[in-house]
């Protein structure tokens, strides 16, 4: 289960700076989805193999009115959704009335928050922190976000330890192939989920979810076990009094993390849009295998179909290893055959390859196409073994591996993908130096 960390605090205390340090690699998935405000920013990070989701809530002043009030409401909603709440204050500015108001809000919300004193660089940290002890938080962290100081040790304490993780790996309690159905609002996720679960031969074992989480629906189809991760929450709409959030980035990110295979649904009537590419980026970052479902294919005229296919081919050129299906969730066409891709993706994501096979493959690849010379010495790649699954990880041992160019790494990935017949899933390579 991927923990969700919310950052709250006044403007200028360093929330964005901390957010960027924690998420680093890729641009944040900005919440510019219809129905969500722009004030919340979502990103993913990882610490020692533990992935987490960060929400930057936009500034709170503690004394909101008008538009600010709406923003504050959104921030408090993010706080509600979070597992860990970090309340940032500015160690240079000292305690302000705004801090006190926000601390008061937090106390009344009943959500346990951790106090984070930022900008402790160039100061005596104990003195910087002393001002804030009167706020009465149980735990305090001292950091300097812009200097990347104190952040790792904070995460070390806040995130579950490796042992805890092994014990409570919630996703593993669900049987069979876990399929996450994700996509923008209104692309047809609910319709697809209903279609997949409504087929004649499907036996659904209903399981209750919690408010925030996606619904995990175990089922059997043609004698095989699956668990559908339903981000749209259709399976719970039985209870009319319940407010079902139609789209949630947190649910989407968690569904991706928990899945073996992600079906990303695209609306053919709208074509491929930037938000689709954003979501694809998240699936790839998480290392999950991917099936693309271009939905609402029914009743489209031939020119429009040709145009959408051309666009998908062009913009998803980098995903040539993932299957694309043109389906109608409404009528059910194309949905059954999608299972063949799901199976192939799962087999690829979970494949186990013996060391001698990977090593032979590496040596063949090197013989076909030598790595370059660096400072008069040729980069040597000696042997390979598997380092993990979902996504499959290939660990390559050699020397001067740090100098291996990106183009060569891509050559290796393509070669391994072809020979090992890997569909839909990325292959991660790790390079280790040493004789
Ligand atoms: P936000 O409004 O809470 O998101 O704050 P920002 O992240 O935009 O930071 C506000 C200002 O504080 C920027 O000028 C940052 O460079 C600066 N800042 C952030 N973290 C630190 C820090 O650890 N030390 C110092 N000296 N400045 C920082
Ligand atoms: P979600 O927000 O992604 O869960 O989308 P929904 O499943 O609620 O679908 C949004 C709208 O698209 C609804 O009006 C659906 O009836 C319609 N829709 C979904 N799938 C299809 C399809 O395959 N063809 C057509 N024509 N409409 C569809």
- Residue 330's CB: how many other CB atoms inside 10 A? 16
- Cα of 344 from ligand 1 centre, angstroms: 47
Q: Quick check: CB of 248 below 6 Å from ligand 2? A: no
pLDDT of residue 80: 80
- What are the two backbone dihedrals, phi and then psi, of residue 427, each rounded to the nearest 5 degrees? -120, 125
Q: Report the pLDDT value the prediction gives residue 210, as an integer from 0 to 100.
A: 47
Does 233 count as an annotated binding residue? Answer: yes
Least confident of 99-113, 278-292, 376-390: 99-113
Residue 203 marked in a binding site = no
DSSP state of 13: S
Tell me the average pLDDT of the chain.
85
Q: Output the pLDDT for position 48.
A: 84
Q: Which residues pair with 220 in a beta bridge?
A: 203, 225
pLDDT at 164 (0 to 100): 67
What pTM did the predictor assign?
0.74
Kindly report the backbone phi and psi dihedral angles of residue 175, in degrees, each rounded to the nearest multiple of 5, phi listed first: -80, 155
Beta carbons of 392 and 348 less than 8 angstroms apart: yes
* Residue closest by Cα to atom 6 of ligand 2: 188
| Ligand 2, atom 9, residue with closest C-alpha | 188
Atom of ligand 1 nearest to the CA of 118: 23
Ligand nearest to the CA of 58: 1
User: Which atom from ligand 2 is nearest to the alpha carbon of 329?
Assistant: 23
Q: Which atom of ligand 1 is nearest to the CA of 88?
A: 3
Integer Cα distance of 232 and 244 in angstroms: 8
**Structure ipTM over 0.95, yes or no:** no
Task: Confirm whether residue 305 is marked as ligand binding.
Answer: no
Per DSSP (E only), the strands in 245-288 are 261-267
pLDDT tens figures, 3-47: 889 999 888 899 989 998 998 654 445 444 444 444 567 788 888
Q: How far is the CA of 188 from the centre of ligand 2 (A)?
A: 4
- Residue 101 CA, chain-centre distance (Å), reads 33
pLDDT tens per residue across span 130-164:
889 888 887 899 999 999 999 999 999 999 876 66
What is the atom index within ligand 2 of the atom nearest the CA of 327?
23
Distances (CA, A) of 402 to 48, 205, 271: 21, 49, 40
Residue 187 CB less than 6 A away from ligand 2: yes
CA angle (247 as vertex; 245, 251 as ends), nearest 5: 95
Is the distance from CB of 78 to CB of 5 less than 8 angstroms? no
Cα separation of 366 and 399, whole Å?
A: 14
Q: Is 16 annotated as a binding residue?
A: yes
Q: With cut-offs at 50, 70 and 90, classify the pLDDT of residue 60.
A: low
* Six-digit token string for 427: 């292959």
């Amino acid at each position: 289960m991927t923990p969700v960390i919310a950052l709250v605090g006044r403007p200028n205390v360093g929330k964005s700076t901390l957010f960027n340090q924690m998420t680093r690699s890729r641009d944040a998935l900005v919440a510019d989805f219809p129905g969500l405000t722009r004030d919340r920013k979502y990103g993913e990070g990882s610490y020692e193999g533990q992935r987490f989701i960060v929400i930057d809530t936009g500034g709170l002043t503690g004394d909101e009115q008008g538009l600010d009030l709406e923003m504050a409401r959104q921030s408090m909603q993010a706080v509600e959704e979070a597992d860990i709440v970090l309340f940032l204050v500015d160690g240079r500015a000292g305690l302000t009335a705004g801090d006190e108001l926000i601390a008061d809000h937090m106390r009344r919300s009943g959500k346990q928050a951790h106090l984070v004193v930022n900008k402790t660089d160039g100061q005596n940290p104990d003195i910087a922190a002393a001002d804030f002890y009167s706020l009465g938080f149980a735990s305090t962290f001292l950091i300097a976000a812009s200097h990347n100081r104190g952040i790792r040790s904070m995460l070390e304490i806040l995130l579950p330890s490796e042992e805890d993780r092994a014990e409570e790996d919630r996703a593993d309690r669900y049987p069979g192939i876990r399929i996450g159905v994700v996509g923008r609002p209104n692309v047809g996720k609910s319709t697809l989920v209903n279609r997949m679960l409504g087929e004649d031969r499907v036996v659904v074992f209903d399981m209750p979810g919690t408010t925030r989480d996606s619904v995990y629906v175990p089922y059997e189809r043609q004698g095989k076990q699956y668990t559908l991760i339903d981000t749209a929450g259709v399976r719970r709409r039985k209870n009319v009094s319940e407010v079902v959030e139609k789209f949630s980035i947190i649910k989407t990110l968690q569904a991706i993390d928990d899945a073996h295979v992600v079906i990303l649904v695209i609306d053919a009537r709208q074509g491929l849009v930037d938000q689709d590419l954003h979501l694809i980026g998240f699936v790839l970052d998480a290392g999950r295998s991917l099936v693309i479902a271009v939905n609402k294919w029914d009743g489209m005229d031939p020119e429009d179909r040709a145009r959408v296919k051309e666009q998908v081919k062009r913009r998803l050129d980098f995903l040539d290893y993932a299957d694309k299906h043109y389906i109608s969730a409404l009528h059910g066409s194309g949905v059954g055959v999608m299972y063949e891709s799901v199976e192939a993706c799962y087999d690829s994501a979970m494949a186990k390859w013996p060391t001698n096979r990977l090593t032979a493959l590496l040596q063949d690849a090197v013989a076909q196409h030598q790595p370059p010379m660096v400072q008069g010495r040729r980069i040597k790649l000696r042997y390979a073994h598997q380092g993990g699954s979902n996504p499959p990880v290939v660990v390559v041992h050699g020397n001067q591996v740090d100098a291996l160019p990106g183009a060569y790494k891509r050559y290796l990935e393509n070669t391994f993908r072809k020979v090992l017949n890997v569909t839909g899933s990325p292959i991660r390579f790790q390079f280790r130096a040493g004789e």
